């Protein structure tokens, strides 16, 4: 499964539910999310795209790619919204952690990374120090390849082809910075 997370790192935990609802309404007004469908799957509220935003399943039949829509009760692409402290990660895409000052890779020191993430979840100061130049900064200021994000509000588009133009519109409507994280599992 491929997921594109649009994460708003500057939205506080207390404002996350209000901003999530506001942006969900915006997505419905834009005709992206079906305003008449909401479901719960694996204890997660999910939203279905409108027909113009559904992604067909592609089958290869007789050496030709044939798009086929799934039955309505089976969702291939959908939206879920997270309104709690979350590390939005790249899944099977891997992780490289780089110092924002000297660019040295840090993931070989996983114990320090793990401790900093735990502190972040607990709401404590979570500075990570570079093992090469000793520069220290909060996790959100470090460089990740592929991109990761830390936030209280994230919109997870499952199996959608998200374009940069949409991310820009979404960011403008939200009125806050967006970090895009692509996850592959």
Q: How far apart are alpha carbons 157 and 142 in whole angstroms?
A: 24
Residues 118, 63 share a domain: no
Residue 155 belongs to domain with CATH number: 3.30.310
Q: Which of 122, 128, 62, 76 is nearest to 100 (CA)?
A: 128
**Looking at the predicted structure, is the pLDDT value of residue 145 above 60?**
yes
The larger pLDDT score, comparing residue 91 to residue 60, is at 91
Residues 63, 10 share a domain: yes
Residues 133, 63 share a domain: no
The larger pLDDT score, comparing residue 52 to residue 92, is at 92
Residues 118, 29 share a domain: no
pLDDT digits (tens, 9 = 90+) for 25-73: 999 999 999 888 877 877 888 898 887 666 555 555 567 655 555 445 5
Residues 152, 74 share a domain: yes
Residues 137, 56 share a domain: no
Judged by average pLDDT, the poorest of 16-20, 69-73, 166-170 is 69-73
Residues 155, 140 share a domain: no
Residues 73, 6 share a domain: yes
Give residue 61's domain range.
Answer: 2-87+148-184
Residues 158, 116 share a domain: no
**Looking at the predicted structure, is the pLDDT value of residue 127 above 70?**
yes
pLDDT of 171 reads 97
Residues 72, 154 share a domain: yes
Q: Which long-range contacts (CB under 8 A, 24 or more apart) does 113-121 make?
A: 117/87, 120/85, 120/87, 120/150, 121/85, 121/87
Q: Total domain count for the chain?
A: 2
Residues 10, 68 share a domain: yes
């Amino acid at each position: 499964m491929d997921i594109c997370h649009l994460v708003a790192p500057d939205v506080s935990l207390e404002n996350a539910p209000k901003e999530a609802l506001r942006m969900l309404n915006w997505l419905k007004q834009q005709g992206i999310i079906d305003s008449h469908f909401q479901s719960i799957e694996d204890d997660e509220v999910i939203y279905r795209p409108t027909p113009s935003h559904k992604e067909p399943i592609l089958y290869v039949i007789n050496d030709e790619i044939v798009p086929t829509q799934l039955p309505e009760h089976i969702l291939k692409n959908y939206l879920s919204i997270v309104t709690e402290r979350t590390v939005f990660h790249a899944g099977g895409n891997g992780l490289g952690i780089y110092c924002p000052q000297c660019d040295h890779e840090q993931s070989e020191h996983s114990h320090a990374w793990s401790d900093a993430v735990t502190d972040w979840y607990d709401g404590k100061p979570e500075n990570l120090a570079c093992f090469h130049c000793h520069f220290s900064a909060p996790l959100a200021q470090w460089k990740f390849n592929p991109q990761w994000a830390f936030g209280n509000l994230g919109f997870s588009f499952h199996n959608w082809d998200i374009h940069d133009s949409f991310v820009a519109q979404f960011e403008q409507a939200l009125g806050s910075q967006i970090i895009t994280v692509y996850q592959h599992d």
